[in-house]
Every structure is written in C-alpha cells, then in structure tokens.
C-alpha cells in the first residue's frame, strides 16, 4: 500500500460548501469502510480539508475521490502527496503495514 496526505482546497466561498459537506462526509465513509482512510477533517481556518490515506496506487485513490461530491460539483481541488511513513506510533503499525 502507498500512503498519502490529501489536501482539499475549496474553490468557492465556504457558504457554498455548506449543503455539500454532509454529502462529502457520507462519501468518506466508503474510504473508511475500505480501510483506506485513517483520519480526515477540516483545515483551520476552514479553507479546505486534510485526509491521511493509503491505497494500492495514486490512481486508485484518485478514482475513489472522483466520486466525492466536492469533485462532482467542482467546488474543490485536490492535491495528493505520497509519503513513506518510516516513523509512527506503535498503535498504527497494523494500519501502515497490513493490507485492508
């Protein structure tokens, strides 16, 4: 598995995100159910969001997020940063090293 930080940046005013946010959060459940997402939440200040993820490939992760309501409604941009989690807390060992 490859590991990623996903940075979401809103491309419209926050007020326009309000009705899509519950749909986006419901969409994220699929990623959690697959075992691909570790954590997610809004940036502070709220100009976007951050997701810690893993996937078999960048393309697979991008395919998942292609169905995100933020993407389908064209209200946010996504930046994917792959990284190698060399150091981590011991309680994350299984998530980092084992397949979902």
Tell me the per-residue pLDDT of 67-81, one tens digit each, with 9 for 90 and over.
999 999 999 999 999
State the number of CA atoms in the 13 A half-sphere of 54 facing the CB: 18
pLDDT tens profile 38-75: 999 999 999 999 999 999 999 999 999 999 999 999 99
H or E segment to which residue 76 belongs: strand 76-83
Question: pTM of the prediction?
Answer: 0.94
Rounded to 5 degrees, φ, ψ at 53 are -140, 165
pLDDT interval class at 8 (50, 70, 90): very high
Q: Residue 24: which of 97, 84, 16, 96 has the closest Cα?
A: 16
Sketch out the chain's domains with CATH numbers.
2-51+58-97 (3.30.70.1060)
* Average predicted confidence (pLDDT) for the chain: 96
């Amino acid at each position: 598995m490859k590991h990623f930080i996903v940075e979401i940046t809103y491309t419209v005013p926050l007020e326009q995100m309000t009705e899509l946010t519950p749909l986006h959060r419901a969409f994220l459940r699929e990623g959690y159910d697959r075992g691909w997402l570790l954590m997610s939440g809004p940036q502070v200040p709220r100009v976007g969001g951050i997701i810690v993820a893993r996937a078999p490939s960048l393309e697979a992760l991008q395919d998942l997020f292609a169905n995100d309501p933020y993407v389908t409604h064209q209200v946010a941009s996504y930046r994917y940063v792959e990284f190698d989690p060399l150091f981590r807390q011991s309680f994350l060992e299984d998530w980092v090293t084992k397949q979902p």
